[in-house]
Amino acid sequence: MAEMRAYGRPNVERARNEIRNTLLDLCELGKDARREMQIRTVQHPLGHGVIAKDPGTALGVMYVQNYPFNTEGGSRPKLVLKASDGFWYEFYKQEMYNLWSLGVEWSCTEAAT
């Protein structure tokens, strides 16, 4: 379903490989992480992606990238939100937590085999 969002010719196998390679890259990064890193996957199509730093604190920051449906021009809009921004920061933070709670932990050990 996620591959159908992309503009151009959908290729499910290409998308599957890209996702798996990204997960393996995250596993490699996790080996060098100074703190614990957790990876979870969901079985829901995502309307956007979020990268967050300290989301539960007053210094929290989020980068939100929209995933458009079959629209030329790529991901727009892209937002940087701070905890001090209020409503929209809280909106995306809550959705991020909701998805996280439904996620299944990705095992880097099992992925390597």
Contact between 92 and 31 under an 8 Å Cβ cutoff? The reply is no
Domain count, the chain: 1
- Give the whole-angstrom CA distance, residue 11 versus residue 54: 35
Each residue's pLDDT tens digit, 24-81: 999 988 888 777 788 999 988 788 889 999 999 999 999 999 887 777 777 778 899 9
How far is it, in rounded angstroms, from Cα 60 to Cα 48? 18
Average pLDDT estimate for 5-32: 83
The parent domain of residue 33 ranges over 3-111
Q: What is the mean pLDDT of residues 79-95?
A: 96
Q: How far apart are the first and last CA of the chain?
A: 27
**Which pLDDT score is estimated for 6?**
65
CA quadruple 17, 97, 56, 40: dihedral positive or negative? negative
The alpha-helical segments, DSSP class H, found in the chain are 12-32, 87-102, 108-111
d(CA 106, CA 12): 20
Are 8 and 66 in contact by the 8 Å Cβ rule? The answer is no
Determine the Cα–Cα distance for residues 106 and 110; give it in Å rounded to an integer. 8
pLDDT at 101: 94
